[in-house]
């Protein structure tokens, strides 16, 4: 159902050609409407400012050798998003609960790694890919179903590591760490950092970089030495490569002091006018914090209930007025064999005070839709 990706309104995502009537489609309008927003292409937006600053780092240190992509379509095949980067058949990230499917073979990319294999096949050996990525998730101030990542890949050949006296893998891992430590210092100044071993299906070894910021260790990116199988499939079996993927919102929230991830989507001038091209790290001044309003909802769950589904229903009703959905109580009635959950929903606008009436309406609609869409029994 996804036809060729036409250039539409300057945005090469082919969104208007996408048919979403497949029975497996789980992309609601609220998410689909985000396609083509291209926040990362706006020079005066915190995400665009951060992207450009990372570009500067690579341009300066690698004499403009990295090719940059920031308009690849977020609509990709299951093969590109998962198979090509060796995500196992039974990995949770493939589930309809975690990923947005347009049809059984087409998804909204859940990471920019979806473009690694194709770009390697097209012959690129040093590149950066920036774009919007989509994940079904729970709701709080640092999670939003659409966010932005930047992927980086660098391929080496025997010439590069031969003289070093080490093998290709160690050479690539050392180069990767040096590159990313330099990037972290470029963005954050003299910060304390540490490397943590981790697992990704597409890299081995795999690492996370954490920086010590405001008294906390903050995970800023995932990376590693690319699995040889990925290179082999792109006719590069004699090469080694590294790859990293970093979340732009995560970094921008810290660098600009932005307290809530929903603000990145705000068109309120009190937000948008605070940032300008080339000015990394200007601290955001809250235009006042409006009071939150809490509403609880309790129901007997069924076997197919998931928190992600609940959050999508709440987001579908309340949009960006919902700040957090939190499980506050759960108990099982052994006799009935039924489990009850109680969730607390925090409603708060970033831009204005909400009226009681408005919140009661939202909560009423949430109750109705939770019941009808999730087939649970309200208590
Ligand atoms: N794709 C990973 C993620 O979204 C990040 C990553 C990219 C890790 C490249 C390793 C190499 O979490």
Tokens of 79: 């093969």
- Identify the residue whose tokens are 């036409």: 6
CA of 297 to the centre of ligand 1 (A): 36
Is the CB of 244 within 6 Å of ligand 1? yes
Residue 318 — pLDDT band, cuts 50, 70, 90? very high
Q: Is 78's pLDDT higher than 90? A: yes
Mean pLDDT of the chain: 94
Number of alpha carbons in the 13 Å side-chain half-sphere of residue 210: 12
Other C-beta atoms lying within 10 Å of the C-beta of residue 372: 10
Is the CB of 14 within 6 Å of ligand 1? no
Residue 215 — pLDDT band, cuts 50, 70, 90? confident
User: Mean per-residue pLDDT for 54-61?
Assistant: 98
Q: What local confidence, expressed as pLDDT, does residue 283 receive?
A: 96
Report yes or no on whether pTM surpasses 0.95: no
Residue 15 — pLDDT band, cuts 50, 70, 90? confident
Other C-beta atoms lying within 10 Å of the C-beta of residue 194: 11
Q: Each residue of 175-185: pLDDT tens digit? A: 999 999 999 99
Number of the ligand 1 atom closest to the C-alpha atom of 206: 10
Determine what percent of the chain is predicted with pLDDT higher than 70: 97
Q: What local confidence, expressed as pLDDT, does residue 3 receive?
A: 36
Number of the ligand 1 atom closest to the C-alpha atom of 226: 11
In a 10 Å sphere around its CB, with 0-12 CB exposed, 13-18 middle and 19+ buried, how is residue 238 labelled? exposed
Tokens of 23: 């029975």
Do residues 41 and 70 lie in contact, with contact meaning Cβ atoms separated by under 8 Å?
yes
Is the CB of 111 within 6 Å of ligand 1? yes
User: Mean per-residue pLDDT for 327-340?
Assistant: 96
Task: List the one residue out of 326, 274, 371, 357 whose CA is nearest residue 139.
Answer: 326
Is the CB of 203 within 6 Å of ligand 1? yes
Residue 56 DSSP class: H
Q: What local confidence, expressed as pLDDT, does residue 13 receive?
A: 64
Q: Whose CA is nearest to atom 10 of ligand 1?
A: 223
Q: Each residue of 128-146: pLDDT tens digit? A: 999 999 999 999 999 999 9
Residue 214 — pLDDT band, cuts 50, 70, 90? confident
Residue 82 — pLDDT band, cuts 50, 70, 90? very high
Residue 271 — pLDDT band, cuts 50, 70, 90? very high
User: Mean per-residue pLDDT for 59-76?
Assistant: 97
Task: List the one residue out of 105, 185, 99 whose CA is nearest residue 146.
Answer: 99
Q: What local confidence, expressed as pLDDT, does residue 20 receive?
A: 86
CA of 109 to the centre of ligand 1 (A): 12
CA of 245 to the centre of ligand 1 (A): 4
Residue 1 — pLDDT band, cuts 50, 70, 90? very low
Q: What local confidence, expressed as pLDDT, does residue 12 receive?
A: 54
Is the CB of 243 within 6 Å of ligand 1? yes
CA of 336 to the centre of ligand 1 (A): 44
Q: Is 6's pLDDT higher than 50? A: no
Q: Is 261's pLDDT higher than 50? A: yes
User: Mean per-residue pLDDT for 53-78?
Assistant: 98
Distance CA 163, CA 48 (A): 39
Other C-beta atoms lying within 10 Å of the C-beta of residue 41: 16
Q: Is 95's pLDDT higher than 50? A: yes
Other C-beta atoms lying within 10 Å of the C-beta of residue 318: 22
Do residues 75 and 132 lie in contact, with contact meaning Cβ atoms separated by under 8 Å?
no
**Best substitution site from 86, 94, 111, 230 to test ligand 1's pocket, by max atoms within 8 Å of Cβ?**
111
Task: List the one residue out of 243, 42, 258 whose CA is nearest residue 144.
Answer: 258
Task: List the one residue out of 126, 111, 152 whose CA is nearest residue 63.
Answer: 126
Q: Is 8's pLDDT higher than 50? A: no
Is the CB of 145 within 6 Å of ligand 1? no
Residues 6+ apart with CB under 8 A from 295: 344, 345, 347, 359, 363, 366
User: Mean per-residue pLDDT for 42-60?
Assistant: 98
User: Mean per-residue pLDDT for 251-258?
Assistant: 95
């Amino acid at each position: 159902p996804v036809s060729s990706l036409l250039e539409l309104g300057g945005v090469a995502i082919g969104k208007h050609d996408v048919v979403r009537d497949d029975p497996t489609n789980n992309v609601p309008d609220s998410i689909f409407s985000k396609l083509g927003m291209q926040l990362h292409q706006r020079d005066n937006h915190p995400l665009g400012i951060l992207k450009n600053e990372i570009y500067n780092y690579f341009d300066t240190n690698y004499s403009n050798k990295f090719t940059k992509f920031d308009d690849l379509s977020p609509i990709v095949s299951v093969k590109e998003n998962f198979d090509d980067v060796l995500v196992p058949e039974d990995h949770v990230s493939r589930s309809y609960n975690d990923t947005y499917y347009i049809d059984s073979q087409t998804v909204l990319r859940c990471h920019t790694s979806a473009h690694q294999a194709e770009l390697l096949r097209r012959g690129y050996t040093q590149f950066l890919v920036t774009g919007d990525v989509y994940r079904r998730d729970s709701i709080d101030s640092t999670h939003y179903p659409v966010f932005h990542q930047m992927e980086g890949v660098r391929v080496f050949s025997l010439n590069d590591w031969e003289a070093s006296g080490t093998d290709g893998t160690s050479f690539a891992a050392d180069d990767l760490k040096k590159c990313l430590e330099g990037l972290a210092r470029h963005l954050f100044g003299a910060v304390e950092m540490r490397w943590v071993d981790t697992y990704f299906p597409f890299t081995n070894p795999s690492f996370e970089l954490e920086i010590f910021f405001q008294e906390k260790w903050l995970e800023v990116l995932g990376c590693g030495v690319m699995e040889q199988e990925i290179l082999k499939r792109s006719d590069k079996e004699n090469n080694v490569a590294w790859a990293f993927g970093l979340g732009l919102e995560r970094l921008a929230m810290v660098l600009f002091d932005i307290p809530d991830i929903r603000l990145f989507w705000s068109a309120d001038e009190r937000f948008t006018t605070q940032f300008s091209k080339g000015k990394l790290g200007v601290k955001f001044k809250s235009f006042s914090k409006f009071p939150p309003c809490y509403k609880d909802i309790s129901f007997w769950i069924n076997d197919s209930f998931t928190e992600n589904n609940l959050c999508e229903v709440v987001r579908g009703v309340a949009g960006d007025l919902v700040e957090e959905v939190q499980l506050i109580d759960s108990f099982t009635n052994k006799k009935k064999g039924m489990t009850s959950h109680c969730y607390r929903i925090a409603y708060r606008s970033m831009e204005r005070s909400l009226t009681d009436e408005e919140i009661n309406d939202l909560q009423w609609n949430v109750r109705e839709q939770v019941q009808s869409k999730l087939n649970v029994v309200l208590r």
